[in-house]
Amino acid sequence: GAGVSQSPRYKVAKRGQDVALRCDPISGHVSLFWYQQALGQGPEFLTYFQNEAQLDKSGLPSDRFFAERPEGSVSTLKIQRTQQEDSAVYLCASSTGLAGRTDTQYFGPGTRLTVL
Amino acid sequence: EDKVVQSPLSLVVHEGDTVTLNCSYEVTNFRSLLWYKQEKKAPTFLFMLTSSGIEKKSGRLSSILDKKELFSILNITATQTGDSAVYLCPIRGGSEKLVFGKGTKLTVNP
């Protein structure tokens, strides 16, 4: 596609529910990133994939957060037993994955998750 | 730990004004500093800076990096209401992830 797409754009969940957020990266992009952006803050890194391999998950805040990219393209971020503090915008970004300094990350529109 | 501090956090100007947004950072193994414009949700890429002293320019926007003093600035001349947004300047250090500050919220009033 022309850009990174994410769905749903908005999600309201009751505390304790499980949610799944989807990201479609730019076609051919090897690297895929998930970030969490709380209100009034900058995005914070959650996890990173190169193709289907999850190379860095150091930013996942708890074991309730799980991400996968089984075929190296579409990725899903799953949050189990949602809590109010999970309310945020979840941004997905992709890049070519070329080695070196100049690889640019392009962001999707995000999913705004509200946990009641 | 890599860190980005942006200033001011918020700025209100009138159309036609020139603004300078500041970004200072701490990083090990610096690779690049990027500027993004965030309206509503999706950060939109503006510039990538990797070398000191080389100005990047696009229309009314320009940016420069000082790797010795560890900062970057983003200049916007002849501001328009469409420039209203949050401006982010993440850095890329030794890992692939971007490290963000809180951003600068720019409001341009007509």
Give yes or no for residue A1 having a pLDDT over 60: no
pLDDT(B28) > 80: yes
- The answer to whether the Cβ–Cβ distance between B42 and A110 falls below 8 Å is yes
Give CA separation, B97 vs A47, A85, A114, B4, in Å: 8, 23, 25, 13
Q: What is the 3-state secondary structure (H, E, C) of A75-87?
A: EEEEECCCCHHHC
Q: Per-residue pLDDT tens for A32-86?
A: 999 999 999 999 999 999 999 999 999 999 999 999 999 999 999 999 999 999 9
Cross-chain residue pair A43–B31, CB shorter than 8 Å: no
| Residue A1 buriedness (CB in 10 A; 0-12 / 13-18 / 19+) | exposed
Eight-state DSSP code of residue A88:
E
Query: Dihedral angle at the C-alpha atoms of A18, A33, B56, B29, nearest 10 degrees?
Result: 120
Strand partners, B38: B43, B86
pLDDT at A101: 61
Chain A interface test: which of B35, B65, B67, B96 (most A C-beta within 10 Å) = B96
Strand partners, A37: A89
pLDDT tens digit sequence for A6-32:
999 999 999 999 999 999 999 999 999
Share of chain B above pLDDT 90, in %: 86
Question: Cα-flanking dihedrals φ and ψ of residue B3, to 5°?
Answer: -150, 145
Search chain A and give the residue with CA nearest B47: A104
- Residues from chain B that touch A39, judged by Cβ atoms under 8 A, are none
**Number of Cβ within a 10 Å radius of residue B84:** 16
Ramachandran sector of residue B105 (left: φ over 0; alpha: ψ -120 to 50; beta: rest): beta
Q: Hey, what are B85's tokens?
A: 């947004």
Half-sphere exposure of residue B57: CA atoms within 13 angstroms, side-chain side:
6
Phi, psi of A85, rounded to the nearest 5 degrees: -70, -10
A43 touches chain B (CB under 8 A): yes
The mean per-residue pLDDT over the stretch B34-53 comes to 92
A27 touches chain B (CB under 8 A): no
